């Protein structure tokens, strides 16, 4: 039976809550949904003065829009937009923290927005699987409260990283399998039409991909949907 999320308290029992939370994250539909779940679940168990954001690294290791609420989402979105600040360090694998963000000389660009949001303390942790950083976890504290320390948040970040990495790999595998299937279908269309080999059919797809500056699977999908072959550089019989 799933344990209900604890009500907020001044000293949250993160260890007692983490196992069930991690199971929910692994069961999410995709990595983006899991990131939202991590931010929401952690915010629910922390004191009300805390806000949480999760920023995932997308294709090309470009940060996605931070998931979360309150000052955490706003301040992390600001850092993603300008590619600066402690969030960038966390996404690169280096944890950071500040006892008074509005006056921290290391990140002057955050002073005014942090002060306006009444943010004092903040912690940024890499979501590190041990082999790869998949994103970052941020916790901001408004008012004079201390909030959770880095040591208490570290296991949360570790479990979140593993869940997100698993979901990302599953998504990538699904995309790869779908791409392989559609390319195979397109090769069959071309082989039947031109009475050519599988290698020659794949060569047509590759050349069309290069000419159109589109991915091979996109060209293959067009072939399977329309039944029309992409225009080759020369007649099919001239292809190798």
Q: Look over the chain and give the mean of its residue pLDDT values, rounded to a whole number.
A: 86
User: Phi and psi at residue 125, in whole multiples of 5°?
Assistant: -125, 135
210 pLDDT more than 50? yes
Q: Region 177-196: what's the mean pLDDT?
A: 80
pLDDT of residue 139: 97
The CATH T-level fold of domain 14-170 is Beta-Lactamase (3.30.450)
Q: How far apart are CA 119 and CA 38, in angstroms?
A: 21
5 pLDDT more than 80? no
Q: Region 180-193: what's the mean pLDDT?
A: 82
108 pLDDT more than 50? yes
Q: Of the ranges 28-37, 101-110, 152-161, 214-223, which one carries the lowest mean pLDDT score?
A: 214-223
Please report, for the chain, the start and end positions of each structural domain, with discontinuous segments joined by +.
14-170, 173-238
The better pLDDT of the pair 159, 210 is held by: 159
Q: How far apart are CA 54 and CA 137, in angstroms?
A: 5
Residue 52: strand, helix, or coil: strand
Q: Do 14-170 and 173-238 share a fold?
A: no
At 9, is the pLDDT very low, low, confident or very high (cuts 50, 70, 90)? very low
CATH among 3.40.50.1820, 3.50.50.60, 2.40.340.10, 1.10.10.10 for 173-238: 1.10.10.10
Q: How far apart are CA 88 and CA 168, in angstroms?
A: 21
pLDDT of residue 130: 94
Whether the CB-CB separation of 203 and 232 falls below 8 Å is answered with no
Q: Of the ranges 19-23, 60-64, 118-122, 209-213, which one carries the lowest mean pLDDT score?
A: 209-213
123 pLDDT more than 90? yes
Whether the CB-CB separation of 136 and 55 falls below 8 Å is answered with yes
Task: Give residue-wise pLDDT tens across range 145-169.
Answer: 778 889 999 999 999 999 999 998 8
At 61, is the pLDDT very low, low, confident or very high (cuts 50, 70, 90)? very high
To the question of pTM greater than 0.95 for the whole model, the response is no
176 pLDDT more than 70? no
pLDDT of residue 178: 64
229 pLDDT more than 70? no
User: Phi and psi at residue 235, in whole multiples of 5°?
Assistant: -60, 150
1 pLDDT more than 80? no
The better pLDDT of the pair 144, 118 is held by: 118
């Amino acid at each position: 039976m799933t344990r209900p999320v604890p009500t907020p308290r001044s000293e949250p029992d993160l260890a007692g809550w983490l196992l069930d939370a991690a199971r929910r994250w692994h069961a999410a539909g995709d990595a983006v949904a899991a990131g939202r779940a991590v931010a929401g679940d952690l915010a629910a168990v922390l004191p009300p003065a805390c806000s949480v954001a999760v920023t995932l690294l997308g294709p090309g290791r470009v940060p996605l829009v931070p998931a979360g609420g309150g000052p955490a989402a706003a301040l992390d979105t600001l850092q993603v937009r300008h590619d600066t600040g402690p969030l960038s360090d966390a996404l690169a694998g280096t944890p950071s923290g500040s006892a008074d963000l509005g006056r921290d000389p290391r990140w002057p660009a955050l002073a005014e927005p942090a002060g306006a949001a009444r943010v004092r303390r903040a912690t940024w942790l890499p979501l590190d699987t041990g082999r790869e950083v998949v994103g970052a976890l941020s916790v901001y504290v408004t008012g004079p409260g201390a909030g959770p320390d880095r040591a208490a948040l570290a296991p949360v970040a570790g479990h979140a990283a593993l869940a997100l990495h698993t979901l990302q790999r599953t998504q990538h595998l699904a995309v790869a399998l779908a791409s392989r299937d559609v390319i195979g279908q397109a090769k069959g269309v071309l082989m039947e039409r031109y009475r050519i080999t599988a290698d020659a059919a794949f060569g047509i797809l590759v050349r069309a991909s290069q000419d159109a500056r589109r991915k091979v699977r996109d060209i293959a999908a067009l072939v399977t949907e329309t039944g029309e072959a992409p225009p080759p550089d020369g007649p099919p019989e001239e292809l190798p």
